[in-house]
Amino acid sequence: MPRVGVLALQGDVREHVRVLTDLGADVIAVRRPEELATVDGLVIPGGESSVIDKLARAFGMRHPLREAIADGMPVYGTCAGLILLADRIADGAPGQQTFGGLDVTVRRNAFGSQVDSFEVDLDVPVLGDPPVHAAFIRAPLVEEIGQGVEALATLDDERIVAVRQGALLGTSFHPEVTGDHRFHRLLLDLVDERVRRAGADDTAR
């Protein structure tokens, strides 16, 4: 069975572990490069993107994460995780860096503070019916997307809140909070596809 990690430096790690476990995945918390090397896919959870960035550098994780993403590892980032997957941040904290991979520009806390959190139903055609019930908690917003990026969901005013580029997924909202597991299932499908393709390549050799 493919193993999936949840980056466990800061944020709502347990919620993602619980969802992935409920879906039948072999899940581990990832804090160090040697743990990252054992997984076939990764979730970067919500939290404080600037704090996760600093801890990733302190734990020697930034370079291995960038390498894994560049090598095609399926990765799903929620909220802060979306920020960390973005190539560009419109309003990053001083010195803030990202892992990159998604050719997008994001804005942190685009909807305001914690008291401005809200929930809404979103149509996500790639996931089918019913709509996704999405919780936005100090959420970022995707302001620009590159040519190879697919917008998976938008608000009524067409602002983009979910994207995909190859094996990378990002959402402004928190499906792990509202109990909708379809984005996590999509990640697991991407992981299964990559593992099967790698196995086929090994057989061909």
Local mean pLDDT, 10-residue blocks, the chain (205 residues): 94 96 96 97 96 96 97 97 97 92 95 81 96 94 96 96 98 94 97 88 64
* CATH code of the domain covering residue 16: 3.40.50.880
How many folded domains does the chain comprise? 1
Residues involved in catalysis: 79, 174, 176
Q: How far apart are the first and last CA of the chain?
A: 22
The domain in which residue 174 lies consists of: 3-204
What pLDDT, on a 0 to 100 scale, did the predictor assign at position 93? Answer: 87
What pLDDT, on a 0 to 100 scale, did the predictor assign at position 203? Answer: 65
Q: pTM of this prediction?
A: 0.94
> Residues near 154 by Cβ (< 8 Å), separated by ≥ 6?
122, 160, 161
What pLDDT, on a 0 to 100 scale, did the predictor assign at position 205? Answer: 58
